[in-house]
Every structure is written in C-alpha cells, then in structure tokens.
Amino acid sequence: MWTSRWRRAALWSAALAMLAAGACAAPEPAPPDEGLTDPPSSGGADLDVSGAELWLSFDDAQVGFDGSPEYADAQEGPFAGRVLTANGGTARPVAGAPGRGRALAFPERCTDDSGCPRALVEVPADPALEPGAAPFAYGASVLLERDQTAIGSNIVQSGRFGSAGGQWKLQVDGADGRPSCVIRSGDEVLSVRSETGVADGDWHRIVCRRDGRGISIDVDGSVERRAGPSGPLETGLPVRIGSPGTGDHDDQFHGIVDDVVVDIDPED
C-alpha cells in the first residue's frame, strides 16, 4: 500500500545525518563521521520506494559531461540529478547517519542582496515524471537548523511561479520552519502547511500527496490535509532540489536533503 509505504519512510527520517565534500570536481568520499557529533535518531526503518519513478539517495556521485557531480537514481532508473551552482555555491556530500548513506548540504544562509552562493540538483524534464491527472506523492528527508530558515526555502519542485503547465513543490516557510505543499494547475492553487516545524537540527521525513480528496502533507507520520480539486499537471520543466534556480531571488534551501522521491500513481 503506497500510503503505508510512505509512512514507513517517515519512521526512519530522523536516522539520517550530514553529508559533506566538495561539489566542483568528482566528489571524494567523506569520512564516515565528518560533521557528525551525536547524530539525531528518531527511527531506523528502511526506506521502501519500490515502484517510484525517481529516488535520489545521493549515496554515489559520478562526474557529469561538464565535470559537475551527478547522482543516479538509486533504483537504477533512467534519471540522474546534476548539480548546478552559482557564486561559489556547493551541494556538499556529507556523511550520513548509520544505515542511510549520504545526503547533500546546500549553501549556508546569506543575507546579501545579490551574489549569494547558490546550488541545486536538477533532474531533466521527462514525461515519466509528469503526474498529469494521476494521484502522486513526492517528498524528501531534511535536516534544518533554526538559523538556516528563510522566508521561503524550496526543497523539491517542478514548475515555477506562473509557468505554463502548473507547478508542484515542497518548501519550508518562515523562521519556525513549517513545511508546506503547493500544487498549481493553471490558475488554481491548492496548498497545505504543516503545524509541525522542522527547523530543530533533527532529521524529518516530509511527504506531499495529491489524490482525489485534495492534497496532504505528512511530517514524520503527522498528516494534515486540505480538500479541493486539482487539475492536471504537465509542467514540462525539470525536477529541482534545493532551489528553484540559481538567481539572486530564488528560494534557496540552506539545510541538508536526502532521499528525494517522486511516485506517480502510487498503489492504494
């Protein structure tokens, strides 16, 4: 059952920990305990993503055609995410918590008006990653400190504000770090925000779902739902992780991300 599968995924979310190494040339393995002092742990169940269209675990990096790090689908699927950067930003692989491999740490918060370090992971647009009118789920595991929050921090998305074909995204809003899910089909926007803040230095599993009843957000098994219709989604744009772009005003995420999953038409 796809619902229980994602719930099982939420249980291990706190059993991930920081990943870090350079992201310009071919990444080198980080020491197992690099940046890790007292790893957070609130669960250790295995992540079951069988049947998902995309799963980026960030455990193994290769060098892409332009020399940038690239992360293949952990299920040996056809997709890969390439690191894009600007202004000296990096998506740093760092050592993970026991059993969860590695994850990516995105640039630290910067308060300058322009020129801040930027980084994201981009999976090229593909029809197989377009939900259309089907139910779908998408999510990630995140670790965010209180001083890493911003007005808007985008974790994973496809489509942008006002882009044709719609948009879906998971973001963290405000100083208290409350995550929200947003789905826009045409001019119709449906969103739901969790009452649970995640900016506490622990790992959290966050999953957004769209089905016939509307959309929901699941933070470590705590689910909040908003009813309402949502039309077809065909963004025609890449899936991006960590930021919607590398521009000065893009909503850069400043924490750590792991195990990004997109699951189209999951089992009931």
- Closest by CA to 259, choosing from 108, 126, 121, is 121
Once rounded to an integer, what is the mean pLDDT over residues 133-146?
95
pLDDT of residue 64: 86
Once rounded to an integer, what is the mean pLDDT over residues 195-219?
95
Return the percentage of the chain with pLDDT > 70, whole number.
80
Mind spelling out the 3-state secondary structure of the chain? CHHHHHHHHHHCHHHCCCCCCCCCCCCCCCCCCCCCCCCCCCCCCCCCCCCCCEEECCCCEEECCCCCEEEECCCCCCCEEEEEEECCCCCEEEECCCCCCEEEECCCCCCCCCCCCEEEEEECCCHHHCCECCCEEEEEEEECCHHHCCCEEEEEEECCCCCCCCEEEEEEECCCCEEEEEEEECCEEEEEECCCCCCCCCEEEEEEEEECCEEEEEECCEEEEEECCCCCECCCCCEEECCCCCCCCCCCCCCEEEEEEEEECCCC
Report how far residue 196's alpha carbon sits from residue 224's, in angstroms, rounded to the nearest whole number.
10
For residue 136, how far is the Cα from the chain centroid?
A: 15
pLDDT of residue 12: 35
Q: Can you read off the two tokens belonging to residue 8?
A: 């099982």
Return the percentage of the chain with pLDDT > 90, whole number.
66
Once rounded to an integer, what is the mean pLDDT over residues 139-150?
94
Give residues with Cβ within 8 angstroms of 187, minimum separation 6. Answer: none
Q: Where does the pLDDT of residue 67 fall: very low under 50, low under 70, confident under 90, or very high at 90 and above?
A: confident
Domain 2-264, CATH number (from 2.102.10.10, 2.40.50.100, 3.30.420.270, 2.60.120.200): 2.60.120.200
What are the sequence ranges of the domains in the chain?
Answer: 2-264
pLDDT of residue 45: 37
- Top pLDDT among 161 and 245 is at 245
Q: Is residue 69 over pLDDT 60?
A: yes
Q: What is the mean pLDDT of the chain?
A: 83
Once rounded to an integer, what is the mean pLDDT over residues 183-199?
94
- Top pLDDT among 127 and 42 is at 127
pLDDT of residue 96: 61
pTM as predicted: 0.83
Q: Tell me which residue has tokens 């939420």.
A: 10
Report how far residue 28's alpha carbon sits from residue 93's, in angstroms, rounded to the nearest whole number.
9
Once rounded to an integer, what is the mean pLDDT over residues 160-180?
92
For 195, other C-beta atoms within 10 Å of its C-beta total 9
Q: Is residue 18 over pLDDT 70?
A: no
